[in-house]
Chains A and B, each alone.
Chain A
Amino acid sequence: MVLVKESVAARALKTKLSVENVSMTFRRDGKSMPVFENINLEVADGEFVCLLGPSGCGKTTLLNVMAGFLSPTSGSIQVDGEVVSGPDPRRIYVFQERGVFPWLTVEGNIGFGLFKLPPTEREMRIAHYVRMVGLQGFEKVYPQELSGGMKQRVEVARALAVNPDMLFLDEPFGALDSITRLVMRGELLRIWEAERKTIIFVTHDIDEAVQLADRVVVMSARPGTIQQIVNIDIPHPRDISSAHYLELRDGIFQQIGLAHKI
Chain B
Amino acid sequence: MITRAQPRKWERIYWPLLASGLLLVLWHYFVIWTTTRIFPSPLEVEKGIGELLRHHVLWGDIADSLRRVAVGFGIAALLGIPVGLALGWFSAANHVVNPVMQILRPISPIAWIPIAIILFGVGDGAAVFLIFLGAFFPIVVACINGVSNVPPVFRRSGRNFGLTAPQLLARVIFPAALPQILIGLRIALGIAWLVVVAAEMIAVDSGLGYLVIDSRNSGKRYDLVIAAILLIGVIGLILDLGFRCMERIRSVRWGFRNES
Contacts and interface: CB of A to CB of B under 8 A. Distances in A.
B156 A87 contact: yes
A144 B153 contact: no
Contact of A99 (B153, B178, B250, B257): B153
A144 B257 contact: yes
Given A93-B156, A144-B257, A103 B161 contact: no
B161 A92 contact: yes
Contacts of A162: 161
B250 A87 contact: no
B149 interface: no
A223 B65 CA distance: 67
Contacts, number: 56
Contacts of B250: 142
B153 A142 contact: no
A92 B257 contact: no
A98 interface: yes
B172 interface: yes
A188 interface: no
A138 interface: no
B253 interface: yes
Interface string A82-106: 0000011101110100110111100
Contacts of B254: 102-103, 142-144
Given A103-B175, A103-B176, A98 B162 contact: no
B161 A98 contact: no
Contact of B153 (A92, A95, A115): A95
A89 B162 contact: yes
Contacts of A102: 254-255
B161 A113 contact: yes
Contacts of B157: 93, 95, 99, 101, 112
A245 interface: no
A95 B159 CA distance: 14
A10 to B, nearest CB: 30
A101 B154 contact: yes
A138 B167 CA distance: 27
B146 to A, nearest CB: 12
A69 interface: yes
Given A95-B153, A99-B153, A103-B178, A142 B161 contact: no
B201 to A, nearest CB: 42
A88 to B, nearest CB: 7
B151 interface: yes
Interface in A233-253: none
The residue among B161, B162, B253, B254 with the most chain A CB atoms within 10 A of its own CB is B161
Contact of B251 (A87, A93, A104, A115): A104
Interface string B59-81: 00000000000000000000000
A87 B159 contact: yes
A103 B251 contact: yes
B34 interface: no
Contacts of A67: 160
B151 A98 contact: yes
A87 B153 CA distance: 13
Contacts of A98: 151, 153
A142 B160 contact: no
B252 interface: yes
Contacts of B255: 102
B154 A99 contact: yes
Contacts of A87: 156, 159-160
Contacts of A115: 167, 171
Interface string B30-47: 000000000000000000
A133 B149 CA distance: 31
Contacts of B167: 115
Contacts of A104: 175, 251
A93 B172 CA distance: 16
Given A87-B156, A99-B157, 9 more contacts: A88-B162, A91-B160, A93-B156, A95-B153, A95-B157, A98-B153, A101-B175, A103-B252, A144-B254
Interface of A: 67, 69, 87-89, 91-93, 95, 98-99, 101-104, 112-113, 115, 142-144, 162
Interface of B: 151, 153-154, 156-157, 159-162, 167, 171-172, 175-176, 178, 250-255, 257
21 contacts: A87-B160, A88-B162, A92-B160, A92-B161, A95-B157, A98-B151, A99-B153, A99-B157, A101-B157, A101-B172, A101-B175, A102-B254, A102-B255, A103-B178, A103-B251, A104-B251, A112-B161, A112-B171, A142-B253, A143-B254, A144-B253
Q: 5 tightest A-B contacts by CB? A: A113-B161, A102-B254, A89-B162, A103-B175, A103-B251
